[in-house]
Structure 1
Amino acid sequence: MEEANQQLWQAVLGELELSLSKASFTTWLKNTFIIENEDGRIVVGVPNTFSQAWLKQKYHTDIYRIIQSKSKERIKEITYKVQTVKNYCQEQEQIKKTIIAEAKQFQAEVRTRPAIGEQAIGLNAKYCFDSFVVGKGNELVHAAARAVAEKPGLTYNPLFIYGGVGLGKTHIIQAIGNEIQRHSPQKKVLYVTCEQFTNDFINAVSSGRTEKFNATYRTPDVLLIDDIQFLAGKEGTQETFFHTFNALHQSDKQIVLTSDRPPKAIATLEDRLLSRFEWGMIADISQPDLETRIAILETKCQEKNFPLERDIIQYITLNIQNNIRELEGALNKIIAHHQLNHIPPTLENVKKVLFSISSASKQSGAVSARQLIELVSEFYDTAMQDMLGKSREKRFAFPRQVIMYLLREELRCSYPTIGHELGGRDHTTAMHAHEKISGLVENDEKLRQEINLIKQKVYAH
């Protein structure tokens, strides 16, 4: 494949050289090459951003025409990526070393679990649709999950579920698997975290057992992967997941993925994976409203056989709003307080327990302005220096305005302080940004979800 790409690009360069001056050809086209050529989409490597811009603006039409004339398939897209020939070759030669290095880096985080096989599929029977409390924030996800469980491989494939920490993503993805197993026990359902997938792949490459890995991951009728954002920055793992995805999807096997952010917000995710994640349905889980939190807490009390008065449940849910995990954690703390100290769960005693949780959270979870800037920069896949810099490009200016909005809303910073934190800007700039984002949040559902996700990261920090 590389040889064919090289021959194709040499033909392109040969024709362009005939119509350009030697100076122009050397300046803009020397050290260019084809990085990728797949499904009619071609990525051309260029040595710097100047060449990238020039080829896009001046020579793109000619390059497209020449490549199309020499290709049997229709060329859908040609893009230009800054990457030197030397670096590209080094990357290709070092793929295996990189993968093995990833193994060492994440070895300490490998989670103990049973061996993958016909009987050990990673599902936990406690996660089912009956115990999943449906509310405004998750009704779309619940409906989509039900549809997938009824007709796996035929409806919403893949199903991509995203939302903040502790909102029920693991519950709903496992409920899909358990429901399919209940109705169709002959179907093979495999649930893993993305971290597990990554480490299995790394171990397979290290030990030369990739065939066994492929047999494990490319044969299930249903593949459920939790926390797919873990793929970010792992080129080798993304490559094998791409082929795993294709093998399953082409065989009408169901794929369900969860993430803490939407596909477009996953940093360094390859475009070909991004496009595949968008093939089916993308559904988000947002923070539960008060009624849903009350219903969830009542369900948890029933499960734990620990009844609480209605006014106590309402007090807890009014004070614990971020996610379901925190809600259950508070209930566990109340139960432990009752059992260990033999103190009845009265409203007054529950208030004391929640106060201790709140105080500990504030002491350990306080976020500085700089940390918030880092979190937003990471979320929008931009560099810190760009957030603090002077560029007015939309890809930098908009995240910068979101930072100003959050500094005001969450940390209660003054406008002069916000301006100072963002590279010494005038306080009126901070005021304008806060007003603009406040207005957009009212009507833009996508932005509202993004800001909620960022807030959840801030408070989970």
Structure 2
Amino acid sequence: MSVVEDIWTRVLARIKGLDEHAYSSWLAKTEALKLNDTVLFVRVPHEFVADLIQEKYLSVINRAIRDVLGRDLDIRFLSDGSSQPPEKSTVHPHVAVAHKNECQLSERYTFQSFVVGSGNRFAHAAARAVAEAPARVYNPLFIHGAAGLGKTHLTQAIGNYVRRTRPGFRILFTPTENFMNEMISAIQNQTTIAFKKRYREKELLLIDDVHFLANKEGLQEEIFHTFNTLYDAGKQIVMTSDRAPKDIPTLQERLISRFHWGLVVDLQPPDLETRIAILRKKMEMDGWILPEDVVYYIASQVKSNIRQLEGCLIRLLAYSSCNNVDVTLDVAKEELKDMIEQGPHLTVDQIVKAVAAHFGISEEAIRGRRRLAAVALPRQIAMYLVRELTDYSLKHIGAAFGKDHSTVIHGCNKIEALIRESPESRDAVEKISKGLCG
């Protein structure tokens, strides 16, 4: 046994004592390859295993290394099948590094890989229109929505489309925090002219996470002048935020006004059908296969965050690969229990009672057959909430309300449309939902 193998064997033994689950599920089949000064190279079965280990278990690995060696090591995970790591490495070898050039775009974000559903259809159409005719429609384009709904994906898809169809077009994607850090560095190093030129000479500027402007007066000032320069020159600006411009704390009125000069669109959480389509798309792109009941389980449990959806998928596939087992529904429930938030177990009766109380009507009226508008809307909201907040099938929901599954689908689709179009309806659904879930 080589020195590096001996070190890793002792580290794994220590990890097994600290976290039996981490060892048996993910680390038992890893292999130490080489130790370069302070860098330990370790082989793992797949890239997604490396991602998961780094996200979940790096701290326990570092602790075990300190216990064994009395000092820290930097861990690099390999999954490319090579027998030896490179002599010098400045990046994590396991990462399938997306090609980034001066545009700072990731090639994996395209319109083709974006799954369109009822909650993002308008934003997707607007993004396509901007990509096909920069600065001629919707300038600026402001996309807002909660974390993990696809804002960055759509924004970079615009950049990648323009880069492919308009060679030589000057494009830059940047998170607002990076913009701020570069601005501070430019002030400290007396390179503000170069900094301003870098941003103000672009033909397409994509700014992510504009909500970072909150409570930053100097940053808002620089964004204001950059915006004016680009807009006056007829250049396209695209921005994203986790909230609408008017809801960003302390955002200057002049910026709020300018952000509304073009088009402001929002992204809503994907419905069940879209969540299933997202999982299937990810599986198709990466050549993965999971049983349909497992796909449905993930989609029914993770309702608001696409990144979490994909994270659950990666977790299961990594577990299957490391342990050489098939993923069943029982395996999925056990392995994902720490990733899926377990809310209260709601029943149809509880949801109907809450909806009836909100609208001031009887529970019997909601379950009845009368089609009066005063009753039909609450009934449809109740069916929608049962679908969103429970694991009941459409057939079960229909039976609970004396309807068939097609009526349930129609009612849920109607409520989804109202949530997008009517603030009053959206507030009612959110209020009832929060009352049920706490």
TM-score between both structures, scaled by the size of structure 1:
0.54
Match of 2:323 in 1: 341
Give the letter for the 2:210 counterpart: I
Q: Paired residue for 2:154, among 169, 172, 175? A: 172
Q: Secondary structure at the match of 1:156?
A: coil
Task: Quote the residue 1:160 is aligned against.
Answer: 142
Q: Secondary structure at the match of 1:257?
A: strand
Q: Matches of 1:202 and 1:174 in 2, distance apart? A: 25
CA distance in 1, matches of 2:201, 2:432: 39
Are residue 311 (structure 1) and residue 311 (structure 2) matched? no
**Is residue 294–residue 328 contact of structure 2 (8 Å, CA) maintained in 1?**
yes
Task: Give the match for residue 211 of structure 1.
Answer: 193
Provide the secondary structure at the position in 1 that maps to 2:337: helix
Query: Which has the larger share of helix?
Result: 1
| 2:182 equivalent in structure 1 | 200
Aligned partner letter, 1:445: S
Q: Which residue of 1 aligns with 2:269?
A: 287
Is this contact kept in 2: 1:134–1:292, CA < 8 A? yes
For 1:245, the equivalent position in structure 2 comes to 227
Q: Tell whether the 8 Å contact from 1:286 to 1:449 is kept in structure 2 after alignment.
A: no
Q: d(CA) in 2 for partners of 1:453 and 1:174?
A: 31
Contact 2:268–2:420, Cα closer than 8 Å, also in 1: no
Question: Which residue identity does 1:160 align to in structure 2?
Answer: F
What stretches of structure 1 move > 4 A for 4+ residues in a row? Answer: 441-444, 447-457
What is the deviation of 1:450? 7.7
Cα displacement (A) at 1:315: 1.7
- The residue aligned with 1:445 is 422
1:148 aligned residue (115, 119, 130): 130
Report the Cα distance in structure 2 between the residues aligned to 1:456 and 1:211, rounded to whole angstroms.
Answer: 51
Name the CA distance, whole Å, in 1 between partners of 2:276 and 2:310.
12
User: For residue 251 of structure 2, what is the amino acid of its counterpart?
Assistant: L
- Quick one: which of 217, 236, 241 aligns to 1:259? 241
Determine which of 238, 245, 257 is the counterpart of 1:275.
257
Task: Give the AA of the match of 2:299.
Answer: T
Aligned residue runs from structure 1 range 33-432, under 5 A: 119-358=101-340, 361=341
The 1-side partners of 2:192 and 2:433 are apart by 38
CA distance in structure 2 between the aligned counterparts of 1:220 and 1:456, rounded to whole angstroms: 44
Alignment partners' CA distance in 1, 2:259 and 2:228: 11
In 2, Cα distance between the equivalents of 1:454 and 1:283?
23
| CA 278–449 in structure 1, closer or farther in 2 if over 3 Å, else same | farther
* Identity fraction in percent: 45
Task: State the number of aligned residues.
Answer: 265
Structure 2 Cα separation of the partners of residues 121 and 307 of structure 1: 34
Amino acid at match of 2:241: S
Q: Which residue identity lines up with residue 422 of structure 2 in the other structure?
A: E
The 3 A distance-change label for structure 1 pair 231 and 264 is same
* Offset at residue 356 of structure 1 (A): 3.6
Tell me the SS of whatever aligns to 1:282. strand
CA RMSD of aligned residues (A): 2.9
Structure 2 CA distance for partners of 1:135 and 1:444, relative to 1, 3 Å: closer
In structure 1, C-alpha distance between the alignment counterparts of 2:118 and 2:194, rounded to whole Å: 43
Q: Distance in 2 between matches of 1:119 and 1:454?
A: 46
Q: How far apart in 1 are the matches of 2:234 and 2:432?
A: 37
TM-aligned CA deviation for residue 362 of structure 1? 5.5
Gaps of 5+ in 1: 1-111, 113-117, 364-409, 411-440
Shift of 1:345: 0.8
Distance (Å, rounded) in 2 between the aligned partners of 1:456 and 1:282: 26
- Aligned pair in 2 of structure 1 residues 182, 452: CA closer, same or farther (>3 Å)? farther
What is residue 22 of structure 2 aligned with on the other side?
Answer: none
Note if contact 1:162-1:258 (Cα within 8 Å) is conserved in structure 2: yes
Unaligned stretches of 5+ in structure 2?
Answer: 1-90, 92-99, 344-388, 390-417
Report the Cα distance in structure 1 between the residues aligned to 2:428 and 2:310, rounded to whole angstroms: 24
**TM-score normalized by structure 2?**
0.57
